[in-house]
């Protein structure tokens, strides 16, 4: 079975990102102001949290990223797309047994959902993927989701209506969902809007560890939660969004030296709920 990263071209994703980035700061201020939750106590006296997430069920994650995480005692969140798994289901099950989080990135990785109704998305992507994960990874997991391509709209209409429709479709099933843009997450906002978790792709644009460092430092400075997104982890960067094995290792090593709690998304979400 061919491996599909399912990543869109830059031209496809930018408008969505711009809308998201434009909408989020005002919303964050409103919610943080009303909830008033400052200074969550992170485990071990950490100043912030970071989750390492890997999308699309790519073989290079099994072969390269997982061993690098294991060597450092770190655990990540792997958003699987069923059609990319091929003959490596047993390997993914071993990843789950090693303590990593396995989560939902749909069956077929549809990016543009303008042709989808909530019922169609539920029938073709959400319900079958959750069933597949239940059968192969257990039903007791916290149900986390990553929006394919970071697209946050479904069906037709204004962007806000399309986003609200997507949220309504996910909310009966999914506890938390991750986009691919926006600043680190304020815990107060996480509780108010768990289906709008913001994240950053540190190797999307170029090979520079400082981009990841800066984002995680910002989370530590504010007591927030940084979520990093990776795709292919390869010997060399080939295209947009690829991470070289060397750079991936450098980022993991650096995180290990920071005053931040590194844990899968479900674990961080559970901690925020408990602390609230
Ligand atoms: Zn994806």
Is the Cβ–Cβ distance between 267 and 77 less than 8 Å?
A: no
State residue 72's pLDDT score. 98
Span from the CA of 201 to the centroid of ligand 1 (angstroms): 12
DSSP 180: S
Q: pLDDT tens digits, residue range 50-78?
A: 999 999 999 999 999 999 999 999 999 99
Span from the CA of 52 to the centroid of ligand 1 (angstroms): 14
Span from the CA of 105 to the centroid of ligand 1 (angstroms): 7
State residue 18's pLDDT score. 39
Span from the CA of 55 to the centroid of ligand 1 (angstroms): 5
State residue 143's pLDDT score. 96
Residue with tokens 């979400």: 269
Through-space distance between the first and last CA atoms of the chain, rounded to whole angstroms: 45
Largest CA distance in the chain: 49
CB contact set of 269 (below 8 Å; sequence gap of 6+): 142, 144, 175, 176, 190, 194
Domains and CATH numbers, the chain: 17-275 (3.20.20.370)
Q: pLDDT tens digits, residue range 171-194?
A: 999 999 999 999 999 999 999 999
Span from the CA of 209 to the centroid of ligand 1 (angstroms): 22
State residue 175's pLDDT score. 96
Answering whether pTM is above 0.75, one says yes
State residue 28's pLDDT score. 42
Query: How many CB atoms sit inside 10 A of residue 243's CB?
Result: 28
Span from the CA of 7 to the centroid of ligand 1 (angstroms): 6
State residue 38's pLDDT score. 56
Span from the CA of 256 to the centroid of ligand 1 (angstroms): 26
Span from the CA of 82 to the centroid of ligand 1 (angstroms): 11
State residue 180's pLDDT score. 96
Span from the CA of 25 to the centroid of ligand 1 (angstroms): 25
Residues of the chain with confidence (pLDDT) below 50: 1-37
Query: How many CB atoms sit inside 10 A of residue 94's CB?
Result: 13
Half-sphere exposure of 85 (CA within 13 A, CB side): 24
Q: Is 167 helix (H, G, I), strand (E, B) or coil?
A: helix
CB contact set of 249 (below 8 Å; sequence gap of 6+): 68
């Amino acid at each position: 079975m061919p491996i599909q990263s399912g990543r869109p071209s830059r031209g496809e994703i930018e408008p969505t990102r711009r809308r998201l980035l434009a909408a989020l700061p005002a919303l964050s201020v409103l919610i943080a102001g009303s909830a008033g939750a400052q200074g969550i106590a992170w485990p071990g006296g950490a100043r912030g949290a970071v989750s390492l997430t890997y999308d699309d069920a790519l073989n290079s994650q099994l072969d390269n990223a997982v061993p690098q995480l294991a060597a450092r005692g770190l655990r990540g969140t792997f958003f699987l797309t069923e059609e990319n798994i091929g003959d490596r289901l047993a390997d993914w099950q071993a990843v789950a047994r090693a303590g990593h989080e396995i989560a939902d990135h749909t069956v077929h990785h549809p990016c543009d959902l303008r042709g989808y109704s909530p019922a169609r998305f539920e029938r073709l992507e959400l319900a079958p993927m959750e069933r597949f994960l239940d059968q192969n990874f257990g039903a007791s997991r916290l149900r986390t989701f990553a929006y394919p391509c970071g697209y946050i709209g479904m069906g037709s209409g204004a962007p806000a209506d399309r986003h609200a429709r997507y949220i309504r479709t996910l909310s009966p099933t999914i506890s938390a969902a991750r986009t691919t843009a926006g600043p680190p997450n304020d815990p107060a906002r996480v509780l108010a809007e768990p289906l709008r978790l913001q994240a950053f792709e540190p190797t999307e644009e170029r090979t520079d560890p400082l981009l990841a460092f800066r984002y995680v430092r910002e989370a530590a400075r504010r007591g927030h939660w940084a979520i990093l997104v990776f795709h292919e982890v390869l010997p060399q960067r080939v295209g947009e969004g690829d991470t070289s094995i060397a750079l991936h290792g450098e980022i993991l090593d650096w995180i290990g030296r920071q005053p931040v709690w590194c844990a899968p998304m479900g674990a961080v979400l559970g901690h925020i709920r408990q602390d609230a």
